[in-house]
Amino acid sequence: MIMVLCLLVYNLAQRQLRLALALAQDTIPNQLGKPTNSPTLRWGFQYFMAVHLVSFQELTQVVNLSPSRLHILNFFSPACQRYYLLPDPLS
């Protein structure tokens, strides 16, 4: 039952990413660097593995957020963007 629930959440997140790309009529790079409008969420997870949260002496910063990663984050909800300490676009 837990596995089915996990697959459901994964599939819904992948669908949301693809819908956001379709609405914006935009693409993101795939594993080979070629533009795609139907990426897998697994590729998205792998692409963000190098992003880290660093805390040092009361300073917290997200490192390795490249311009291409920021571009991809634009297609996620504000709730997801907050994990990367990005400002809320509505505020």
pLDDT of residue 8: 97
32 domain-assigned:
yes
88 domain-assigned:
no
What is the pTM (predicted TM-score) of this model? 0.83
Residue-by-residue DSSP string for 20-72: HHHHHT--EE-TTS-EESS--HHHHHHHTTT-EEEEETTEEEEE---HHHHHH
91 domain-assigned:
no
44 domain-assigned:
yes
pLDDT tens string 18-67: 999 999 999 999 999 999 999 999 998 999 999 999 999 999 999 999 99
Our count of domains for the chain comes to 1
What range defines the domain where residue 12 resides? 2-82
